[in-house]
Amino acid sequence: MSDAMDGRADGHGRVYQASGDQHIIEHHHHGDASPAAWASTESVRQPTGGRAPVVLRDRTELMERLRAAVASDAFHQIYVLHGMGGCGKTAVARAVFQFASTEGSRVGLWVNAADRTTLRSGMLAVAADRGATEGELLAARNGLRASADLVWERLDRSAEPWLLVLDNADDPASLRDGSWLRTSPRGTVLVTTRQAAPRWWPHAELHHVGVLPRDAAAQVLYDLAPETGTMDEAAEIADRLGRLPLALTLAGGFLSHQVIDPWTMTRYGSHLAGHEPVDLIDRGANALTDSGSRHLVSQTWQLSLEALAAQGFPESTVLLRLMACYGADPLPLTLLNSPELNDVLPRSRAETALRGLLDQSLTTLVDVGVRCVQTHGVLLASVAVGTPHGQATKSARTAARLLDAGVPAIPEPGPQDLRLRLLSPHVLALLRHATDVSVVTEALDVAVRLAIALHRTGDYLSAWELASDAAAVAQPVLGAEHRLVLSSYARAGRALFRLGRYEESEALHRRVLLDRERLFGPDDPDTLDSYEGTSDPLFELSRVSEGLALLRHAAMGRQRVLGPTHPLTLGARALLLSRVPPSELAAEVDSTALPLPQECALELGPDHTVTLQARLNYANALNRLGRFEAAIEDARLVVEEYQRRYGPDFPMTLSAQTLYASIRAALGDVNLAVELMATVVDTRERILGAQHPFTAFSRRRLDEFRAKADHQSPDGQP
């Protein structure tokens, strides 16, 4: 949004504040100066995707094949389970996961691969589980190193053999685009997907998972509700439900939890409407489609909700319809503990409503590092289709307000919050479901703020994906010229810049700038934000005069429109300190009676992000002017502050330390400069690798200091 703040630093200690999102520039490559390491990594040691079946029926031959694969020392294998939604692919994967983790003596690693952001986050959590450091994870999240390479490097070096499950990989392009799917000498990969085309799985062993045979389907239902009928009656219901495991699980959950007025299987069967399921089975199991599975599932959840209402829990229906506005990914429970829930459901009844859904097997609790509720995608799609229009609109409005309450109005730099990352697929799901303009508008506003929040943790890839996807989904409803659509594209442009994709960033920023100038005028805060955003890639593309003109336009416009003490105005002035040429730098530094860092501290407070950035930029400006004595103390204090806030491995800490070392060397304390730079080199080599440009730059600077030290006399004199 237009009140965001950005900041960055280069390898010479050059740092600047644009709109509160920090990053590093070195050698025309970008890293992170976001204020967080990977502070909240999700759990990958337990499966998600619903509760495990009581007993996994049928699948005997498939399970024997997969058990043998994980029981042996054979690695370098990929197995793909494919089939329609609700057919039990995840249940098979859970059974294999459990076997591998116990009898197979392997580490089980489970990743939800439903979308790009969830996949990458889960895979980086795998890297963390296999020993990746916070610095390495931070570098991967902000594009300083290839995320997939880090993950597979750690998997290949794992001390223990492993089984990696990639669940819900229904968009195989996400796996291919990031090179996420590989083989390893230390483990086995198991994928579940609806996509069976061999072109997606060229090196994998494919296994189809379909509906169950009649006897096995009947046994599933009987396992769940043995007191409610006979095996023959269970078989009849199984036929009516297409022998689809998900539908059978929902039916069994219903039958096993009726206490006040227990149902028999015969009674349940009499309430199943229509004959289409039988017709589908008559045509053969392979004829059953995802739309057919939704139809089968709809019969089960409708009966379950009717029973809950009869027992005095009509709120369960309301809650399930609300949850159908979101996606099938884990949904943080904190989202449902908000006053905004009162719009459709008394908050005091939320616990009871959720308990009813859990008892009926309509949803399940999962813990991925944050306690969540998760509902099968086929069930959600079926509920969404079956919700009357008026109720669907009301549910969508509440869903948007709950997300709005869960995302900060002005995201601040800070540690990664896993709860925020978990909201990304649900914001996009709501945007795809919603048709009401007001709902789409509110959801897009949330998406923009969430992209800013992700950006400020240094997760630039996730920020770019969310912002660009949200804009593309909302544009057909709101129009290409809507302010929020343009804001979303502007956020995508900033993320592209952080990822070093300067040409793409400049083109996107330029397009947004032209639209904002035309629609809102040159002094609109969003237009001023675009002037600054467009200037960033121009400097990196060596179009310095053009970039400087835009940056000055932004700084002067903000001072005129927002006032001289607004954080964005002060941030733009700090940014100018790093961008003006040396011939103009003295005038910029000496243009006010009060130095910029002191002015920022007075107006914003000494701990404000803009103040810290201004102190570092100002110290570097003094360094560039040769005023080393004036710069040294601020440079030292800034290094200490970055270390205190973000730790010694944080990229901005290393950039600040590089500046401090340079000033020390200029003042003749070369031995300390060598010591400081040696630490920087060692840290960057460990995090980024020996060949990374940041590492190479730091090593050259270290060599310069060492050469200078070699020419000094023992008393420190040349």
What are the pLDDT digits (tens) for 584-609? Answer: 889 888 887 789 999 999 999 998 98
* CA atoms of 412 and 394, how far apart (whole Å): 31
58 — pLDDT class (breaks 50, 70, 90)? confident
Write down the pLDDT at residue 51.
66
Helix 483-498 × helix 460-478 angle, to 10°: 160
Residue with tokens 């201004």: 614
- State the helix-helix crossing angle for 437-455 and 460-478, rounded to 10 degrees: 160
Domain spans in the chain, listed from the N-terminal domain onward: 60-208, 214-310
Element (H, E) at 31: strand 29-32
Residue 62: pLDDT band (50, 70, 90) is very high
Choose the weakest-confidence range: 64-73, 129-138, 251-260: 251-260
pLDDT at residue 321 greater than cutoff 70: yes
Residue 18 has a pLDDT of 31
Identify the H or E element spanning 351: helix 350-359
Q: Is the pLDDT of residue 351 over 50?
A: yes
The residue type found at 504 is E
The three-state secondary structure class of 561 is helix
Model confidence at 555: pLDDT above 50: yes
Residue whose C-alpha is closest to residue 563's, from 527, 533, 616, 603: 603
Q: Nearest Cα to 452, choosing from 432, 466, 473, 431?
A: 466
Q: Parallel, antiparallel, or unpaired: how do β-strands 364-367 and 107-112 relate?
A: unpaired
Cβ proximity of 247 and 379 under 8 Å: no
For the segment 523-535, the average pLDDT, to the nearest whole number, is 96
| pLDDT at 153 > cutoff 70 | yes
Say if residue 479's pLDDT is above 50.
yes
Percent of the residues in the chain that have a pLDDT greater than 90, as a whole number? 55
- Name the helix (H) or strand (E) containing 293: helix 290-310
> If you ran DSSP here, which 8-state letter would residue 456 be given?
T
Inter-residue contact 357 to 316 (CB < 8 Å): yes
Residues contacting 514, CB < 8 A, separation 6+: none
- Of 412-426, 496-510, 628-642, the poorest mean pLDDT is in 412-426
Superfamily of domain covering 60-208: P-loop containing nucleotide triphosphate hydrolases (3.40.50.300)
Q: What is the CA angle 364-365-368, rounded to 5?
A: 130
> Measured between alpha carbons, how far is 401 from 700 in angstroms, rounded to an integer?
52
Q: Which residue has the higher pLDDT, 267 or 207?
A: 207
- Contact 701/662 with Cβ under 8 angstroms? yes
Indicate the range of 46-55, 447-456, 695-704 predicted with least confidence. 46-55
Asked whether residue 291 carries a pLDDT value surpassing 80, the answer given is: no
Helix ranges (DSSP H) in 481-627: 483-498, 502-520, 525-540, 544-561, 567-579, 582-589, 596-604, 609-624
Average pLDDT of the residues of the chain: 86
Percent of the chain with pLDDT over 70: 89
Can you tell me the distance from the alpha carbon of 292 to that of 305, in angstroms, rounded to the nearest whole number? 20
Cα angle: 448, vertex 453, 457; to 5 degrees: 145
Q: How would you class 597 by CB atoms within 10 Å of its CB: exposed for 0-12, middle for 13-18, buried for 19 or more?
A: buried
Mean predicted confidence (pLDDT) in 54-61: 80
The pLDDT value recorded for residue 295 is 67
pLDDT of residue 296: 66
pLDDT at 281: 35
Contact 148, 178 (CB under 8 A): yes
pLDDT at 368 over 80: yes
How far apart (Å, rounded) are the C-alpha atoms in residues 574 and 22?
13
Condensed to tens digits (0 to 9), the pLDDT of residues 561-576 reads: 999 999 999 999 999 9
Q: Are strands 6-10 and 15-20 parallel, antiparallel or unpaired?
A: antiparallel
Using CA atoms, how far apart are residues 86 and 446, in angstroms rounded to an integer?
Answer: 31
pLDDT value of residue 411: 84
- Write down the pLDDT at residue 142: 80
Q: How confident is the model at residue 385 (pLDDT cuts 50, 70, 90)?
A: confident
pLDDT tens digits for range 92-125: 999 999 999 998 889 999 999 988 888 999 999 9
Of 224, 300, 225, which is closest to residue 263 (Cα–Cα)?
Answer: 225
How far is residue 331's CA from residue 430's CA, in Å, rounded to a whole number? 13
Q: In what order do the strands lie in the sheet with 371-374?
A: 331-332, 371-374, 364-367
More reliable by pLDDT, 449 or 410: 449
Number of separate helices (H) and strands (E) present in the chain = 31, 12
Question: What are the tens digits of pLDDT across the range 8-48?
Answer: 333 333 222 233 343 333 322 233 333 333 344 678 988 88
Beta strands across the sheet bearing 205-208: 107-112, 162-167, 187-193, 77-82, 205-208
Cα gap 40→612, rounded to integer Å: 25
For the cut 50, the answer to whether the pLDDT of residue 169 exceeds it is yes
Q: Is 498 exposed, middle or buried (0-12, 13-18, 19+ CB in 10 A)?
A: buried
Res 579 pLDDT > 60? yes
Q: Binning pLDDT at 50, 70 and 90, where does residue 341 land?
A: very high
Q: 190 — phi, psi (to 5°)?
A: -125, 125
What pLDDT is stored for residue 84 in this prediction?
Answer: 86
pLDDT of residue 191: 96
User: Span 618-627, mean pLDDT?
Assistant: 94
